[in-house]
Amino acid sequence: MSNDRHSNWNSILIYRTSVQNTNEKSRVADKLNYLVGEKNWTIDLDDEDKVLRVVCNKEVARDIEQVFAQYAYTCESMPYW
């Protein structure tokens, strides 16, 4: 499903999270889908840092962090090159 509000996003944000499994991932999925679009984020559960990668505008960074906080998960910004 195409959503115009997600079409002009130009940043990639990377976070270390405390999400441990698919059940926990599904808890944040609906809100992340709403914020950035279903195909604009992933959580790598095989990575030791459970890395969340998001394609979006930087303005939604705080909203993303609040989604994780709402479920008592950590979500720490990681530097990348």
pLDDT one-digit tens code per residue, 36-76: 999 999 999 999 999 999 999 889 999 999 999 999 999 99
Containing 64, the helix (H) or strand (E) segment is helix 61-70
d(CA 50, CA 54): 13
Examine the pLDDT at 6 and tell me if it is beyond 70.
Answer: no
Instruction: Give the number of other CB atoms < 10 A from CB of residue 32.
Output: 23
Q: Would you give the distance in Å from CA 43 to the centre of its chain?
A: 7
Q: Which residues of 50-67 are buried (b: 16+ CB within 10 A; e: fewer)?
A: bbbebbbeeebbeebbeb
In this structure, what token pair is assigned to residue 9?
């996003």
Predicted confidence at residue 2, as pLDDT, reads 46
Determine the average pLDDT of the residues in 17-34: 98
Examine the pLDDT at 3 and tell me if it is beyond 60.
Answer: no
